[in-house]
């Protein structure tokens, strides 16, 4: 196992058969070596810096019906809300005061948020906070829409591919959604000059090692600036309510593998990782992660952005989250970088 890990460290890649062995190993010595090398590689590109992204969850309305997701349209028990433009702007102002230099507007696919409305919001945030990056995570939109949003000033777009294997993608999504559409969106976003984030859930129902290898190969093809992975966590009001969730150990192994395969990528220690283990995000940081995405949404709506059960940080004010994360990050041996945090080697046009 040591040989395989060292080979991944020196060459940045492995044949499928060795990836399979590494993804499946439960050897604690392998986990430790992977952690050590992933941390070394992240420090070579990013030192001890951790970038913060202030997450503003703008809407829990969604026209999609992803089988794993708590805000899918078929979940009649989901409480729906959408933030008003002035609420979103005050979240960004508050975030700026707290030292955030990236704002992520994320939400379900909600047609209330037209291009016009979003473009106005992006321009206003950029005008108030010119030294900040604006990231969108609003699902699939038309090329024209992505173009307008980019022209209004959006810098980045997060759209997990969710599953690069056709068959698995179909088992996780309703028949009207398609992997080819998802991939097209990602390549379009890249072409339009966005810094792009893709990714997938770890331990999703029906997911096998072969599927995960397909995800890694797709990421090699796409070469995104960010890769978001986190454990699948069941939601009680979805068809996957009774399924098992993804494990901490497998998520950490994959984070380590991703850091060695993509030395300069932005790798978030996700909220889902913090949800399945109280020290999940700290362990992620020590295994190659260099981004944390604290919640900036108003406390009044946080519980309603209910993607999966037991989601953490739904009761705290933004300032408390900021303080809590700073302690966690510094306690793990890293420091918060108060900057936009573009991917290393990515030249920002503006």
Which positions lie near ligand SAH, rule CB under 6 A?
A: 68-69, 106, 108-109, 137-139, 159-160, 162, 201, 230, 232-233, 235, 272, 307-308
Nearer to ligand SAH, 159 or 213 (CB): 159
Given a contact cutoff of 8 angstroms between Cβ atoms, the answer to whether 173 and 210 are in contact is: no
Question: In angstroms, how far apart are the furthest CA atoms of the chain?
Answer: 55
What's the closest the beta carbon of residue 55 comes to ligand SAH, in angstroms?
Answer: 10
What's the closest the beta carbon of residue 188 comes to ligand SAH, in angstroms?
Answer: 14
Residue that is written with structure tokens 């398609």 in the block: 178
- What is the rounded CA–CA span in Å between residue 326 and residue 323? 5
Nearer to ligand SAH, 139 or 280 (CB): 139
Nearer to ligand SAH, 51 or 232 (CB): 232
Nearer to ligand SAH, 31 or 201 (CB): 201
- What is the rounded CA–CA span in Å between residue 338 and residue 130? 14
* Residues whose CB falls within 8 Å of the CB of residue 263, separated by 6 or more in sequence, listed in order: 12, 41, 42, 44, 45
What's the closest the beta carbon of residue 149 comes to ligand SAH, in angstroms?
Answer: 14
What's the closest the beta carbon of residue 222 comes to ligand SAH, in angstroms?
Answer: 15
What's the closest the beta carbon of residue 106 comes to ligand SAH, in angstroms?
Answer: 5
Nearer to ligand SAH, 201 or 312 (CB): 201
- Give me the numbers of helices (H) and strands (E) for the chain, helices first please: 14, 9
Residue that is written with structure tokens 């196992």 in the block: 1
- What is the rounded CA–CA span in Å between residue 285 and residue 280? 9
Q: Is 55 left (phi over 0), alpha (psi -120 to 50) or beta?
A: beta
What's the closest the beta carbon of residue 59 comes to ligand SAH, in angstroms?
Answer: 9
Residue that is written with structure tokens 């981004």 in the block: 291
Nearer to ligand SAH, 58 or 132 (CB): 58
Nearer to ligand SAH, 139 or 288 (CB): 139
What's the closest the beta carbon of residue 82 comes to ligand SAH, in angstroms?
Answer: 13
Helix axes 209-222, 248-261, angle to 10 degrees: 30
Nearest Cα to Cα of residue 66 among 84, 56, 57, 78: 78
Buried b (16+ CB within 10 A) or exposed e, 50-62: bbbbbbbbbbbbb
Nearer to ligand SAH, 8 or 172 (CB): 172
What's the closest the beta carbon of residue 340 comes to ligand SAH, in angstroms?
Answer: 21
- What is the rounded CA–CA span in Å between residue 316 and residue 253? 30
């Amino acid at each position: 196992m040591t040989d395989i890990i060292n080979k991944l460290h020196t060459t940045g890649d492995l044949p499928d058969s060795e990836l399979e062995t590494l993804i499946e190993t439960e050897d604690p010595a392998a986990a430790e070596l992977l952690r050590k090398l992933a941390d070394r590689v992240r420090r070579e590109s990013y030192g001890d810096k951790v970038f913060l992204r202030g997450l503003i969850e703008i809407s829990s309305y969604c026209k999609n019906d992803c089988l794993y997701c708590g805000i899918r349209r078929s979940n009649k028990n989901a409480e729906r809300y959408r933030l008003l433009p002035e609420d979103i702007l005050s979240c960004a102002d508050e975030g700026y005061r707290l030292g955030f230099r990236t704002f992520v507007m994320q939400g379900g696919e909600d047609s209330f948020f037209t291009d016009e409305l979003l473009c106005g919001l992006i321009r206003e945030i950029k005008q108030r906070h010119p030294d900040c990056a604006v990231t969108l995570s609003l699902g699939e939109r038309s090329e024209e829409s992505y173009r307008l949003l980019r022209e209004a000033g959006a810098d980045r777009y997060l759209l997990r591919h969710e599953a690069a294997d056709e068959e698995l993608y179909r088992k996780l999504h309703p028949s009207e959604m398609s992997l080819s559409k998802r991939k097209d969106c990602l390549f379009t976003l890249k072409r339009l000059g966005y810094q792009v984030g893709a990714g997938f859930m770890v331990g999703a129902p029906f997911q096998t090692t072969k599927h995960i290898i397909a995800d890694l190969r797709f990421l090699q093809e796409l070469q995104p600036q960010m890769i978001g992975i986190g454990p699948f966590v069941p939601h009680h009001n979805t068809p996957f309510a009774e399924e098992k969730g993804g494990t901490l150990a497998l998520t950490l192994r994959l984070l380590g593998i991703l850091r060695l395969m993509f030395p300069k990528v932005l790798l978030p220690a996700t909220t889902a990782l913090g949800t399945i283990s109280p020290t999940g995000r700290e362990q992620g940081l020590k295994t190659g992660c260099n981004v944390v995405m604290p919640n900036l949404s108003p406390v009044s709506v946080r519980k309603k952005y209910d993607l999966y059960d037991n989601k953490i940080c739904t009761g705290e004010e933004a300032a408390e989250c900021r303080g809590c994360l700073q302690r966690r990050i510094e306690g793990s041996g890293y420091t918060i970088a108060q900057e936009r945090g573009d991917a290393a080697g990515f030249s920002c046009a503006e």
